Amino acid sequence: MLENKDQKTTSIASLGEFGLIEHLTKHFKINQESTLKSIGDDAAVLDFKDKKVIVSTDLLIEGVHFDLSYMPLKHLGYKAIVANVSDICAMNAVPTQVTVSVAVSNRFPLEAMEELFAGITLAANAYNVDVIGGDTTSSQKGLIISITAIGEANLDEIAYRSGAAQTDLLVVSGDLGAAYMGLQVLEREKQVFQVNPNNQPILDDYTYLIERQLKPEARNDVKELLEKLEIKPTAMIDISDGLSSEVMHICKQNKLGCNLYEEKIPVDPQLINVCEEFNVDITTIALNGGEDYELLFTIKMEDFEKIKHNPNFTIIGHMVAESEGMHLVTRANTKIELKARGWNSLMEE
């Protein structure tokens, strides 16, 4: 996971801007039928025929969105693509292309950019998206990544944040909170390392959590899984800021309330152990930890039978009238009002 610090480095300036772009983009393959013209002109040309076009964009700043002291550049490249692909998946659409712009300060050698683009290439191949354009420039400070993801869908497939009705069921893919606790483990190891650089971390008990943080995956399988179940999601959003925040988005967009059941929230056994070790409440982490990139969606109540035993999905609650409010129903069967706490501040209490 760590970079080899002994290798010889090459300055980016030695290639020039056009040389750098050519060097970094030569491994990109074109797989999508809709990509007519990719990198190398003023713009790319795409053909979606009778499909609708889905567009989402993200800006990632070193020191704000990522910390290179525990995020290897290859993982960062992978995760940057995943985060944007996830937004397309959250529309119940198929990701097809991305553009990738990168700005770096002169402290980054060419080899660092190669690592970053190796991660981008890996993710592009894993998610079958074509890298069709971008921009490479210098920054005054740190690394900046801007990604625009493009996808396609038939109009009747698209799931917005709106579209949910009262009595719809709230469903989530995968499990929650692991990416956030992975970050806590990595931050603790960073502090240990700063005190004693010879201390080799033993991370065997945290592999799942660390992988969820460093190499998350977007749920581009959910669209097909739901199609096979013959379920059309009525509303959908991806979980990047934490379950609580996203559930509240769905409620507000639909002018509805909800009951969310604490005992139903899916968590991994490793999360339970690590929350005990860190002495933090599992439900708080699962509700508010971000970067899981799972999908949260609503389905009609009559679809309950189709989905109830599916291992990919968990029914975690249901929508109610707006006047009833947004609540978490605890294991002790008390109702607590839902709050979006923002995962940056979870560990500070």
Question: Site residues (CB under 8 A) for its own copies?
Answer: 36-37, 40-50, 52-59, 61-65, 87-88, 90-91, 93, 97, 99, 101-103, 132-135, 137-142, 144, 146, 148-151, 153, 155, 158, 160-162, 236-238
Q: 58 vs 187, which CB is nearer to its own copies?
A: 58
Q: Known binder of ligand: residue 205? A: no
Q: 103 vs 326, which CB is nearer to its own copies?
A: 103
Is-contact 77 119, C-beta < 8 A?
yes
Q: Phi then psi for 320, rounded to 5 degrees?
A: -135, 180
- Output the smallest distance, CB 68 to its own copies, in A: 12
Q: 155 vs 332, which CB is nearer to its own copies?
A: 155
Q: How far apart are CA 62 and CA 69, in angstroms?
A: 11
> Which of 252, 262, 251 is CA-nearest to residue 314?
262
Q: 93 vs 258, which CB is nearer to its own copies?
A: 93
Q: Known binder of ligand: residue 219? A: no
Q: 21 vs 272, which CB is nearer to its own copies?
A: 21
Q: How far apart are CA 237 and CA 251, in angstroms?
A: 11
Q: 6 vs 18, which CB is nearer to its own copies?
A: 18
Q: 175 vs 241, which CB is nearer to its own copies?
A: 241
- For 29, other C-beta atoms within 10 Å of its C-beta total 11
Q: 90 vs 179, which CB is nearer to its own copies?
A: 90
Q: Known binder of ligand: residue 137? A: no
- Output the smallest distance, CB 247 to its own copies, in A: 15
The contacts of residue 279 (CB under 8 Å, 6+ apart) are none
Q: Known binder of ligand: residue 58? A: yes
- Output the smallest distance, CB 4 to its own copies, in A: 26
In the numeric block, the tokens 């050698």 are attached to 109
Determine the length of the chain: 349
- Output the smallest distance, CB 301 to its own copies, in A: 24
Tokens of 84: 């944007």
Tokens of 261: 């059941």
Residue 126 three-state SS: helix
Radius of gyration of the chain from Cα atoms?
Answer: 21
Tokens of 29: 């393959």
Q: Known binder of ligand: residue 268? A: no
- Output the smallest distance, CB 150 to its own copies, in A: 7
Is-contact 62 143, C-beta < 8 A?
yes
The contacts of residue 113 (CB under 8 Å, 6+ apart) are 12, 20, 24, 102, 104
Q: How far apart are CA 141 and CA 170, in angstroms?
A: 43
> Which of 169, 104, 96, 91 is CA-nearest to residue 131?
96
- Output the smallest distance, CB 48 to its own copies, in A: 6
Q: Known binder of ligand: residue 221? A: no
Q: Known binder of ligand: residue 57? A: yes
Q: Known binder of ligand: residue 40? A: no
Q: Known binder of ligand: residue 294? A: no
> Which of 20, 16, 38, 41 is CA-nearest to residue 28?
38
- Output the smallest distance, CB 284 to its own copies, in A: 21
Q: Known binder of ligand: residue 161? A: yes
Is-contact 270 180, C-beta < 8 A?
no
Is-contact 348 291, C-beta < 8 A?
no
- Output the smallest distance, CB 114 to its own copies, in A: 19
Residues of the binding site for ATP: 134-135, 161, 240
Residues of the binding site for Mg(2+): 42, 56-58, 87, 135, 238, 241
Residues of the binding site: 42, 56-58, 65, 87, 134-135, 161, 238, 240-241, 291, 343
Residues of the binding site for substrate: 65, 291, 343
